[in-house]
Amino acid sequence: MSLVDLPKVELHLHLEGAASPAFIRGLARQRHVDIEGLFDEQGHYRFNGFTGFLKAYEVATSALTSPADHARLLRAVLEASAEQGVIYTELSISPDLCGGGDLSAWRDYVAAFTEVAAGMAGDITCRGIVTCIRHLGPERAKRTALCAAETMGGFVTGLGLAGDERVGAAKDFAWSFDLGREAGLGLTAHAGEFGGPASVRETLRDLGVSRIGHGVRAIEDLALVDDLAEGQVVLECCPGANIALGLYPGWRQHPVGELYRRGGRVTLSTDDPAFFRTGMAHEYERLHDAFDWDEGVFRDMARTALSAAFCDEATRARLMKRLEDA
Protein backbone atom coordinates (compact mmCIF):
# COMPACT_ATOMS: atom_id res chain seq x y z
CA MET A 1 0.00 0.00 0.00
CA SER A 2 1.33 3.46 -0.88
CA LEU A 3 1.93 6.02 1.87
CA VAL A 4 -0.80 8.20 0.36
CA ASP A 5 -3.37 5.41 0.67
CA LEU A 6 -2.31 4.34 4.16
CA PRO A 7 -5.12 5.24 6.64
CA LYS A 8 -4.11 8.18 8.79
CA VAL A 9 -5.28 9.84 12.00
CA GLU A 10 -4.62 13.54 12.60
CA LEU A 11 -5.02 15.12 16.03
CA HIS A 12 -3.54 18.59 15.52
CA LEU A 13 -5.15 20.60 12.73
CA HIS A 14 -6.22 24.24 13.01
CA LEU A 15 -9.29 24.73 10.85
CA GLU A 16 -8.46 28.19 9.49
CA GLY A 17 -4.82 27.15 9.08
CA ALA A 18 -6.00 24.58 6.56
CA ALA A 19 -7.80 27.19 4.41
CA SER A 20 -6.09 27.27 1.03
CA PRO A 21 -5.03 30.65 -0.38
CA ALA A 22 -7.54 30.15 -3.20
CA PHE A 23 -10.36 29.59 -0.70
CA ILE A 24 -9.53 32.71 1.33
CA ARG A 25 -8.90 34.85 -1.75
CA GLY A 26 -12.25 33.87 -3.27
CA LEU A 27 -14.19 34.33 -0.04
CA ALA A 28 -12.61 37.72 0.64
CA ARG A 29 -13.62 38.85 -2.81
CA GLN A 30 -17.22 37.72 -2.22
CA ARG A 31 -17.36 39.36 1.22
CA HIS A 32 -15.50 42.55 0.15
CA VAL A 33 -12.87 41.99 2.85
CA ASP A 34 -9.50 43.70 2.43
CA ILE A 35 -6.68 41.14 2.66
CA GLU A 36 -4.08 43.13 0.74
CA GLY A 37 -0.53 41.87 1.33
CA LEU A 38 -1.60 38.44 2.57
CA PHE A 39 -0.13 36.56 -0.41
CA ASP A 40 3.26 36.59 -2.09
CA GLU A 41 3.98 36.71 -5.82
CA GLN A 42 3.49 32.93 -6.14
CA GLY A 43 0.11 33.10 -4.43
CA HIS A 44 1.28 31.57 -1.14
CA TYR A 45 0.60 33.06 2.28
CA ARG A 46 3.18 35.72 3.07
CA PHE A 47 4.70 35.76 6.57
CA ASN A 48 8.05 35.89 8.29
CA GLY A 49 8.59 33.85 11.46
CA PHE A 50 6.05 32.81 14.05
CA THR A 51 4.87 36.32 14.94
CA GLY A 52 4.36 37.07 11.25
CA PHE A 53 2.48 33.80 10.86
CA LEU A 54 0.08 34.74 13.68
CA LYS A 55 -0.62 38.08 12.01
CA ALA A 56 -1.21 36.46 8.61
CA TYR A 57 -3.53 33.92 10.24
CA GLU A 58 -5.57 36.75 11.75
CA VAL A 59 -5.87 38.50 8.39
CA ALA A 60 -6.89 35.29 6.63
CA THR A 61 -9.60 34.52 9.19
CA SER A 62 -11.10 37.99 8.70
CA ALA A 63 -12.52 36.71 5.41
CA LEU A 64 -14.65 34.19 7.33
CA THR A 65 -17.65 36.14 8.56
CA SER A 66 -20.41 33.63 9.34
CA PRO A 67 -21.20 30.04 10.37
CA ALA A 68 -21.90 29.31 6.70
CA ASP A 69 -18.38 30.44 5.74
CA HIS A 70 -16.77 28.27 8.39
CA ALA A 71 -18.98 25.31 7.46
CA ARG A 72 -17.95 25.69 3.83
CA LEU A 73 -14.32 25.73 4.94
CA LEU A 74 -14.78 22.64 7.11
CA ARG A 75 -16.19 20.70 4.17
CA ALA A 76 -13.26 21.72 1.94
CA VAL A 77 -10.72 20.77 4.61
CA LEU A 78 -12.32 17.39 5.28
CA GLU A 79 -12.49 16.61 1.58
CA ALA A 80 -8.79 17.44 1.18
CA SER A 81 -7.86 15.36 4.24
CA ALA A 82 -9.85 12.36 3.06
CA GLU A 83 -8.05 12.48 -0.30
CA GLN A 84 -4.77 11.98 1.61
CA GLY A 85 -6.01 8.93 3.46
CA VAL A 86 -7.08 10.60 6.70
CA ILE A 87 -9.94 8.66 8.30
CA TYR A 88 -10.20 10.68 11.52
CA THR A 89 -9.22 14.23 12.34
CA GLU A 90 -9.59 16.63 15.24
CA LEU A 91 -9.88 20.29 14.38
CA SER A 92 -8.79 23.10 16.66
CA ILE A 93 -11.45 25.81 16.44
CA SER A 94 -11.72 28.93 18.58
CA PRO A 95 -14.94 30.72 19.52
CA ASP A 96 -12.86 33.91 19.43
CA LEU A 97 -12.76 33.45 15.65
CA CYS A 98 -16.30 32.09 15.43
CA GLY A 99 -18.69 34.64 16.87
CA GLY A 100 -16.28 36.66 18.97
CA GLY A 101 -16.50 34.38 21.99
CA ASP A 102 -20.26 34.84 22.38
CA LEU A 103 -21.91 31.60 23.54
CA SER A 104 -25.11 32.07 21.56
CA ALA A 105 -23.18 32.76 18.36
CA TRP A 106 -20.87 29.83 19.06
CA ARG A 107 -23.87 27.49 19.25
CA ASP A 108 -24.75 28.49 15.69
CA TYR A 109 -21.24 27.62 14.54
CA VAL A 110 -21.33 24.26 16.31
CA ALA A 111 -24.65 23.47 14.62
CA ALA A 112 -23.11 24.26 11.22
CA PHE A 113 -20.01 22.16 11.96
CA THR A 114 -22.14 19.27 13.17
CA GLU A 115 -24.17 19.23 9.96
CA VAL A 116 -21.04 19.16 7.77
CA ALA A 117 -19.39 16.48 9.91
CA ALA A 118 -22.45 14.25 9.66
CA GLY A 119 -22.54 14.63 5.90
CA MET A 120 -18.88 13.62 5.57
CA ALA A 121 -18.96 10.75 8.08
CA GLY A 122 -18.89 8.07 5.38
CA ASP A 123 -15.46 9.26 4.22
CA ILE A 124 -13.87 10.87 7.27
CA THR A 125 -14.83 11.27 10.93
CA CYS A 126 -14.04 14.50 12.74
CA ARG A 127 -14.36 16.10 16.15
CA GLY A 128 -13.76 19.65 17.39
CA ILE A 129 -11.30 20.86 20.01
CA VAL A 130 -12.51 24.21 21.32
CA THR A 131 -9.31 26.21 21.54
CA CYS A 132 -8.26 29.04 23.84
CA ILE A 133 -5.88 31.53 22.22
CA ARG A 134 -3.04 32.03 24.68
CA HIS A 135 -1.95 35.51 23.66
CA LEU A 136 -5.51 36.82 24.11
CA GLY A 137 -5.17 36.14 27.82
CA PRO A 138 -6.79 34.02 30.54
CA GLU A 139 -10.03 36.01 30.78
CA ARG A 140 -10.84 35.38 27.13
CA ALA A 141 -9.88 31.76 27.71
CA LYS A 142 -12.54 31.47 30.41
CA ARG A 143 -15.21 32.44 27.88
CA THR A 144 -13.83 29.86 25.47
CA ALA A 145 -13.88 27.15 28.13
CA LEU A 146 -17.48 28.02 28.92
CA CYS A 147 -18.37 27.73 25.24
CA ALA A 148 -16.73 24.31 25.19
CA ALA A 149 -18.46 23.09 28.34
CA GLU A 150 -21.88 24.31 27.19
CA THR A 151 -21.63 22.61 23.77
CA MET A 152 -19.78 19.46 24.81
CA GLY A 153 -20.96 16.24 23.16
CA GLY A 154 -21.31 15.25 19.53
CA PHE A 155 -18.93 17.42 17.55
CA VAL A 156 -17.27 19.15 20.53
CA THR A 157 -15.14 16.74 22.54
CA GLY A 158 -12.00 18.63 23.59
CA LEU A 159 -10.53 21.81 25.04
CA GLY A 160 -7.16 23.10 23.87
CA LEU A 161 -4.71 25.95 24.27
CA ALA A 162 -2.92 27.39 21.22
CA GLY A 163 -1.43 30.72 20.16
CA ASP A 164 1.83 32.32 21.27
CA GLU A 165 3.42 29.99 23.79
CA ARG A 166 5.80 32.77 24.84
CA VAL A 167 2.97 34.81 26.40
CA GLY A 168 2.00 34.20 30.01
CA ALA A 169 2.27 30.93 31.93
CA ALA A 170 0.32 27.70 31.70
CA LYS A 171 -1.00 28.14 35.23
CA ASP A 172 -2.83 31.30 34.09
CA PHE A 173 -5.26 29.00 32.25
CA ALA A 174 -5.84 26.52 35.08
CA TRP A 175 -9.39 27.75 35.75
CA SER A 176 -10.39 27.15 32.14
CA PHE A 177 -8.90 23.68 32.07
CA ASP A 178 -10.48 22.77 35.39
CA LEU A 179 -13.83 23.71 33.86
CA GLY A 180 -13.09 21.60 30.81
CA ARG A 181 -12.09 18.64 32.95
CA GLU A 182 -15.27 18.89 35.02
CA ALA A 183 -17.31 18.95 31.80
CA GLY A 184 -15.68 15.72 30.63
CA LEU A 185 -13.69 17.23 27.76
CA GLY A 186 -10.39 15.83 26.54
CA LEU A 187 -7.53 18.23 27.28
CA THR A 188 -4.55 19.23 25.17
CA ALA A 189 -2.25 22.27 25.05
CA HIS A 190 0.58 23.59 22.92
CA ALA A 191 3.96 23.45 24.66
CA GLY A 192 7.55 22.65 23.82
CA GLU A 193 7.50 24.37 20.45
CA PHE A 194 8.79 27.88 21.03
CA GLY A 195 9.01 27.23 24.76
CA GLY A 196 11.67 24.80 25.95
CA PRO A 197 11.31 21.58 27.95
CA ALA A 198 10.25 23.52 31.04
CA SER A 199 7.09 24.63 29.24
CA VAL A 200 6.12 20.98 28.73
CA ARG A 201 6.62 20.17 32.41
CA GLU A 202 4.68 23.25 33.50
CA THR A 203 1.79 22.51 31.14
CA LEU A 204 1.47 18.93 32.36
CA ARG A 205 1.67 20.01 36.00
CA ASP A 206 -0.61 23.04 35.85
CA LEU A 207 -3.21 22.01 33.26
CA GLY A 208 -3.33 18.23 33.64
CA VAL A 209 -3.53 17.53 29.91
CA SER A 210 -3.24 14.06 28.39
CA ARG A 211 -1.73 15.34 25.15
CA ILE A 212 0.85 17.98 24.27
CA GLY A 213 0.63 19.94 21.03
CA HIS A 214 4.11 19.77 19.48
CA GLY A 215 6.24 18.99 22.56
CA VAL A 216 9.29 18.40 20.39
CA ARG A 217 11.67 20.46 22.48
CA ALA A 218 11.30 17.87 25.21
CA ILE A 219 14.23 16.26 23.38
CA GLU A 220 16.47 18.85 25.06
CA ASP A 221 15.78 17.13 28.41
CA LEU A 222 16.10 13.35 28.08
CA ALA A 223 14.75 12.81 31.60
CA LEU A 224 11.59 14.57 30.47
CA VAL A 225 11.42 12.34 27.37
CA ASP A 226 11.54 9.31 29.67
CA ASP A 227 8.87 10.83 31.92
CA LEU A 228 6.59 11.47 28.93
CA ALA A 229 6.99 7.88 27.74
CA GLU A 230 6.39 6.46 31.22
CA GLY A 231 3.36 8.69 31.75
CA GLN A 232 1.91 7.75 28.34
CA VAL A 233 1.65 11.42 27.36
CA VAL A 234 0.84 11.73 23.68
CA LEU A 235 2.81 14.16 21.53
CA GLU A 236 1.02 15.80 18.59
CA CYS A 237 4.12 16.27 16.42
CA CYS A 238 3.96 18.51 13.36
CA PRO A 239 7.40 18.24 11.75
CA GLY A 240 6.64 20.17 8.56
CA ALA A 241 5.29 23.11 10.53
CA ASN A 242 8.36 23.21 12.80
CA ILE A 243 10.67 23.17 9.79
CA ALA A 244 8.68 25.85 7.96
CA LEU A 245 8.96 28.15 10.99
CA GLY A 246 12.71 27.59 11.29
CA LEU A 247 12.69 25.55 14.48
CA TYR A 248 14.76 22.86 12.75
CA PRO A 249 16.77 23.12 9.52
CA GLY A 250 15.45 19.97 7.86
CA TRP A 251 13.57 16.69 8.18
CA ARG A 252 16.57 14.60 9.25
CA GLN A 253 17.34 17.09 12.01
CA HIS A 254 13.80 17.03 13.42
CA PRO A 255 13.63 15.25 16.81
CA VAL A 256 10.48 13.24 15.98
CA GLY A 257 12.67 10.29 15.03
CA GLU A 258 14.57 10.29 18.31
CA LEU A 259 11.41 10.84 20.35
CA TYR A 260 9.86 7.79 18.72
CA ARG A 261 13.03 5.72 19.14
CA ARG A 262 13.05 6.53 22.86
CA GLY A 263 9.53 5.22 23.33
CA GLY A 264 7.59 8.46 23.04
CA ARG A 265 3.90 8.22 22.13
CA VAL A 266 4.42 10.12 18.90
CA THR A 267 1.63 11.06 16.50
CA LEU A 268 1.82 13.02 13.24
CA SER A 269 -0.16 16.09 12.17
CA THR A 270 0.13 19.08 9.88
CA ASP A 271 -0.81 21.99 12.19
CA ASP A 272 -1.58 24.70 9.59
CA PRO A 273 -0.97 22.94 6.28
CA ALA A 274 -2.11 25.72 3.95
CA PHE A 275 0.39 28.13 5.50
CA PHE A 276 3.25 25.64 5.75
CA ARG A 277 2.59 23.99 2.37
CA THR A 278 2.30 20.48 3.70
CA GLY A 279 -0.22 17.68 4.06
CA MET A 280 -0.42 14.31 5.78
CA ALA A 281 0.77 12.39 2.71
CA HIS A 282 3.68 14.84 2.32
CA GLU A 283 4.63 14.42 5.99
CA TYR A 284 4.64 10.63 5.61
CA GLU A 285 6.76 10.75 2.46
CA ARG A 286 9.34 13.13 3.90
CA LEU A 287 9.62 11.20 7.17
CA HIS A 288 10.01 7.95 5.25
CA ASP A 289 12.88 9.55 3.34
CA ALA A 290 14.45 11.06 6.47
CA PHE A 291 14.25 8.08 8.85
CA ASP A 292 13.58 5.13 6.53
CA TRP A 293 10.33 4.49 8.39
CA ASP A 294 8.29 1.68 6.91
CA GLU A 295 4.55 1.14 6.81
CA GLY A 296 4.64 -0.49 10.24
CA VAL A 297 5.93 2.68 11.93
CA PHE A 298 3.21 4.83 10.39
CA ARG A 299 0.53 2.30 11.31
CA ASP A 300 1.84 2.29 14.89
CA MET A 301 1.60 6.08 15.07
CA ALA A 302 -1.92 6.03 13.64
CA ARG A 303 -2.97 3.52 16.31
CA THR A 304 -1.39 5.68 18.99
CA ALA A 305 -3.28 8.71 17.71
CA LEU A 306 -6.59 6.89 17.57
CA SER A 307 -6.13 5.48 21.07
CA ALA A 308 -5.62 9.07 22.31
CA ALA A 309 -8.42 10.61 20.26
CA PHE A 310 -11.14 12.59 22.01
CA CYS A 311 -13.98 10.45 20.72
CA ASP A 312 -16.43 7.90 22.13
CA GLU A 313 -15.40 4.27 22.40
CA ALA A 314 -17.78 3.06 19.69
CA THR A 315 -16.23 5.48 17.20
CA ARG A 316 -12.74 4.47 18.29
CA ALA A 317 -13.50 0.77 17.84
CA ARG A 318 -15.05 1.33 14.42
CA LEU A 319 -12.08 3.34 13.19
CA MET A 320 -9.54 0.99 14.74
CA LYS A 321 -11.08 -1.82 12.71
CA ARG A 322 -10.77 0.35 9.62
CA LEU A 323 -7.10 0.88 10.44
CA GLU A 324 -6.42 -2.80 10.98
CA ASP A 325 -8.36 -4.00 7.94
CA ALA A 326 -6.60 -1.69 5.48
Tens of pLDDT, residue by residue over 52-82, are 999 999 999 999 999 999 999 999 999 999 9
As a whole number, mean pLDDT of residues 225-243 equals: 98
As a whole number, mean pLDDT of residues 10-25 equals: 98
In a domain, 54, yes or no: no
Tens of pLDDT, residue by residue over 113-126, are 999 999 998 899 99
As a whole number, mean pLDDT of residues 308-313 equals: 98
pLDDT at 163 over 90: yes
Tens of pLDDT, residue by residue over 255-274, are 999 999 999 999 999 999 99
Quick one: pLDDT at residue 245? 97
Quick one: pLDDT at residue 326? 81
**From CA 11, how far away is CA 137, in angstroms rounded?**
24
Q: Exposure of 20 by Cβ count < 10 A (0-12 exposed, 13-18 middle, 19+ buried)?
A: middle
Average pLDDT, the chain: 97
CATH number of the CATH domain containing 149? 3.20.20.140
Q: How many CB atoms lie within 10 A of CB 58?
A: 12
In a domain, 251, yes or no: yes
**From CA 229, how far away is CA 96, in angstroms rounded?**
34
List all residues 6 or more positions away from 10 whose beta carbon is below 8 Å from its beta carbon. Answer: 81, 86, 88, 89, 90, 268, 269, 270, 280, 305
In a domain, 25, yes or no: no
Q: Which pLDDT band, with edges at 50, 70 and 90, does 2 fall under?
A: confident
Determine whether 193 is an active site residue. Answer: yes
Which position among 193, 236, 283, 285 bears the catalytic label? Answer: 193
As a whole number, mean pLDDT of residues 237-250 equals: 98
In a domain, 174, yes or no: yes
**From CA 140, how far away is CA 127, in angstroms rounded?**
22
Pairing mode of beta strands 265-268, 8-14: unpaired
In a domain, 46, yes or no: no
In a domain, 227, yes or no: yes
In a domain, 24, yes or no: no
Tens of pLDDT, residue by residue over 189-199, are 999 999 999 99
Structural domain count, the chain: 1
In Å, how far are 93, 238, 302, 321 from 299, measured between CA atoms?
27, 17, 5, 12
**From CA 111, how far away is CA 103, in angstroms rounded?**
12
Angle between helix 197-207 and helix 174-183 axes, rounded to 10 deg: 50
**From CA 98, how far away is CA 48, in angstroms rounded?**
26
pLDDT at 1 over 90: no
> Among residues of the chain, what percentage have pLDDT more than 90?
97
Quick one: pLDDT at residue 227? 97
In a domain, 228, yes or no: yes
**From CA 187, how far away is CA 166, in angstroms rounded?**
20
Quick one: pLDDT at residue 47? 97
**Domain range spanning residue 266?**
8-19+64-325
Quick one: pLDDT at residue 3? 86
Q: How many CB atoms lie within 10 A of CB 312?
A: 13
Find out whether 13 and 270 touch, Cβ atoms under 8 Å.
yes
**From CA 143, how far away is CA 124, in angstroms rounded?**
30
As a whole number, mean pLDDT of residues 2-8 equals: 90
**From CA 176, how far away is CA 247, in angstroms rounded?**
29
In Å, how far are 44, 298, 300 from 267, measured between CA atoms?
27, 9, 9
Q: Which pLDDT band, with edges at 50, 70 and 90, does 4 fall under?
A: confident
